[in-house]
Amino acid sequence: MLEKGKRIPNWQVKDLGGNSHDLWDYRQKSHLLLLYDPHASSETLQRWEKAVQADQKQWDWLNTKVLIIQKAPKDVVPGAYVVDRYGMFWNYFSPGHWTFDDLEKDLVYYEARHC
């Protein structure tokens, strides 16, 4: 289990487009928002993609890369993960217990606390 404030492992994940990502590639560059639910329907995944695209200016302003993960290592539990630009685990939301507004507020709070 991840510990808040500790560095995340260098997970290698694959997004919905089939692109591979090493999470440590984003360190010092941007925050990460990882959305992973292997049981989510294709309609849900499409709804997430549309929501991210519709709010892209906000994610850019927050300097956040949103990854909707299709394939993750075995030790990754489904849910939404917030990781800061230094690769530190910030927060976790279990599946079905988050909204994009929750995630956005969490990142705004992080920025306000660290400025």
pLDDT for 98 equals 96
pLDDT tens string 2-31? 899 999 999 999 999 999 999 999 999 999
* Both tokens assigned to 66: 């949103």
Q: What is the pTM of this model?
A: 0.93
The DSSP element (H or E) to which 6 belongs, if any, is none
pLDDT for 26 equals 95
pLDDT tens string 47-89? 999 999 999 999 999 999 999 999 999 989 999 999 999 999 9
pLDDT for 114 equals 77
